[in-house]
Amino acid sequence: MTAEHVNPLRDPTDRRLPRIAGPCSLILFGVTGDLAKKKLIPAVYDLANRGLLPPGFALVGFARADFKDGTFAQMIKKAAKEGARTPWSETVWKQLAAGIRFVPGEFDDDDAWDRLADTMKELDDQQGTGGNHAFYLSIPPSLFPVVVSQIKKHGLAESSKGWRRVVIEKPFGHDLASAVELNRMVGDVFSRESVFRIDHYLGKETVQNILAFRFANGMFEPIWNNHYVDHVQITMAEDIGIGSRAGYYDSIGAARDVIQNHLLQLMALIAMEEPVSFNASSLRLEKQKILANARPPARMDLHTAQAQYVAGWAGGEKVRGYLEEEGVHEGSRAETYAAIRVDVSTRRWAGVPFYLRTGKRLGRRVTEVAVVFKRAPHQPFNKNDVEELGQNALVMRIQPDEGVTLRFGAKVPGTTMEIRDVNMDFAYGGAFVESSPEAYERLILDVLLGDPPLFPQHEEVELSWKILDPVIAHWKQDKEIDTYPAGTWGPPSADAMMARDGRTWRRP
């Protein structure tokens, strides 16, 4: 067994079993969309290439598009070839292609759903999918109600023969009330165990490693608390703009796009107590306790920042501002940068602020969690000698350059006792020969296996909205939105927010 098959979140007694999905089909709504082409289809191919899909696997596309004979499979092939992580194999492709089907139609067209039901039956007979079908909703949230109700109306959510699952891509609502409504609607059709909410950050190796790092080692946990930790900074920075995604992004903004899900999940993993086991319910329980105890800042005017990028530079090229991007509404107030302080009121974390920030068109692409430690209580050195000594920090590099860095002070060689910060580094690339699977490979496989630990339950989703809703409501009152030039590290208000607490953002 190679290390890439090892799932640190599975029961250790399962470790020797290869994780291969049984016969089933994946029915993809939104198959012509960006996510499907760039991530989902390549991930399916990579899984097939790694031998983790059964011969009887089927991929069904359901969309309005009118593909002539064979052109759907060609589109899938092109997307798989362009996005695959593993080498191309015609043999693997041929096997996959045998199970590819396309059903044309509008989501509200009952005849099209009848055709889908027929296709599923045919696949059960011809491909041996055994009644096992996962519906993957990679579509705008406005289409969830029609698709979910059609699944119910056509009796596709249940089967006496096999399992039925539904996969929902974020955003899970746009505030607490809409998330509750979405959960109610989905829960009306699918049982709790059959709903898989995708937060693709949880599928990343480096994110799963947070739990391995914390709970497999003896030396970090004793200092993982407010006696030693000064604060935590969670950064998800992107150098790209919004590209062709204005339709989605402009009504959402940075906080709803990634803080509500990816960054609050990272925070929960960093802050949670040791779970009883790594099964889904134990993990969720611990994450929920953190989210339930997490509060937005009391003074949102002082401890949050939001801004929009204006024209600037990216990769040596001049780039336009957000308001000039194609499809953005005139005078849009959508924030492309968001930073908030979150306080977690537990015995372990009281008094330790968690600072979460994200932005498009920042200096570079980097996601990291920095646990910044308090200074030593006493420094027996001359003031000048420790001028260049910062606070100790443990930085988990989620991406790129995946790894962990420990920053501490060391003596500069020479005749004086000058002390300066140095880094001790673990890099995935240097320590392991296996390359990490893409998050979507892992998550799609887990859906097909019915393995739930990496999927947030609705309680986590709702608790996360409870943290964010008041911040967004507060931002709505602002008459103007702050700005930052593309290629910089965000607006001055974000620096001011840290300065008020006597701290600075790390420059990743």
Residue set of the binding site for substrate: 200, 204, 238, 257, 360
Nearer residue to ligand BG6 within complex by CB, 129 or 265? 265
Nearer to ligand BG6, 120 or 236 (CB): 236
Give Cα separations from 418 to 378, 387, 469 (angstroms): 16, 8, 48
Residues 335-394 that bind ligand BG6 (CB under 6 A): 367
- For 118-144, give one letter per residue: b (16+ CB within 10 A) or e: ebbeebbeebbbbbbbbbbbbbebeeb
Residue among 209 and 367 whose Cβ is closer to ligand BG6: 367
Q: Which residue is nearest to ligand BG6 (CB)?
A: 257
Q: Provide the 8-state DSSP code for 441.
A: H
- In three-state secondary structure terms, 353 is strand
Q: List the beta bridge partners of residue 330.
A: none
How many residues bind ligand BG6 (CB under 6 A)? The answer is: 4
- Site pattern 245..264 for ligand BG6 (x: CB under 6 A): ------------xx------
Question: Annotated catalytic residue: which of 133, 174, 231, 262?
Answer: 262
Q: What is the distance between the alpha carbons of residues 342 and 352, in angstroms, rounded to a whole number?
A: 9
Nearest-approach distance from CB 192 to ligand BG6, in angstroms = 24
Question: What is the nearest approach in angstroms of ligand BG6 to the Cβ of residue 8?
Answer: 19
Q: Could you tell me the two tokens for 106? A: 């509008």
**Please, what is the minimum distance in Å from the beta carbon of residue 489 to ligand BG6?**
17
Q: Nearest approach, Cβ of 77 to ligand BG6 (angstroms)?
A: 24
Q: What's the min distance (Å) between Cβ of 116 and ligand BG6?
A: 28
Give the pair of three-digit tokens for residue 458: 């609705």
Indicate the annotated binding residues for NADP(+).
Answer: 64, 106-107, 170
Which amino acid makes up residue 96? L
Question: CB of 204: closest distance to ligand BG6 in angstroms?
Answer: 7
Residue written as tokens 């990343």?
Answer: 204
Report the candidate in 26, 23, 21, 22 with the shortest Cα–Cα distance to residue 135: 26
Q: Of 223, 222, 218, 169, which Cα lies nearest the Cα of 197?
A: 169
446/450 Cα distance (integer angstroms): 6
Between 258 and 269, name the residue whose CB sits nearer to ligand BG6: 258
Q: How many CA atoms lie within 13 A of 452 on its CB side?
A: 18
Helix (H/G/I), strand (E/B), else coil: 193: helix
The Cα–Cα gap between 265 and 287 comes to 8
- In whole angstroms, how close is the CB of 243 to ligand BG6 at the nearest point? 9
Segment 435 to 464, residues that bind ligand BG6, using CB under 6 A: none
The full 3-state SS of 417-444, as one line of letters, equals CCEEEEEEEEEHHHHCCCCCCCHHHHHH
Which is nearer to ligand BG6, 199 or 230 (by Cβ)?
Answer: 199
186 binds ligand BG6 (CB under 6 A): no
Helix axes 144-153, 110-126, angle to 10 degrees: 60
Q: Are strands 24-29 and 366-373 parallel, antiparallel or unpaired?
A: unpaired
Q: Give the C-alpha separation, 107 to 425, whole Å.
A: 51
Q: Is residue 262 among the annotated active site residues?
A: yes
Give the nearer residue to ligand BG6 in terms of CB position, either 157 or 445.
Answer: 445
The closest of 89, 87, 107 to 31, measured between CA atoms, is: 107
Q: How far apart are CA 198 and CA 195, in angstroms?
A: 10
Going by the annotation, the residues of the binding site are 64, 106-107, 170, 200, 204, 238, 257, 360
Least CB distance from residue 252 to ligand BG6, whole Å? 8
- Selected from 124, 205, 230, 238, the binder of ligand BG6 by CB under 6 A is 238
Q: Between 257 and 462, whose beta carbon lies closer to ligand BG6?
A: 257
Nearer to ligand BG6, 79 or 229 (CB): 79
| CA distance between the termini of the chain | 36
DSSP characters for 199-230? -GGGGSHHHHHHHHHHHH-SSSGGGSSTTTEE
Q: Which residues bind ligand BG6 (CB under 6 A)?
A: 238, 257-258, 367
Q: Catalytic residues, which ones?
A: 262
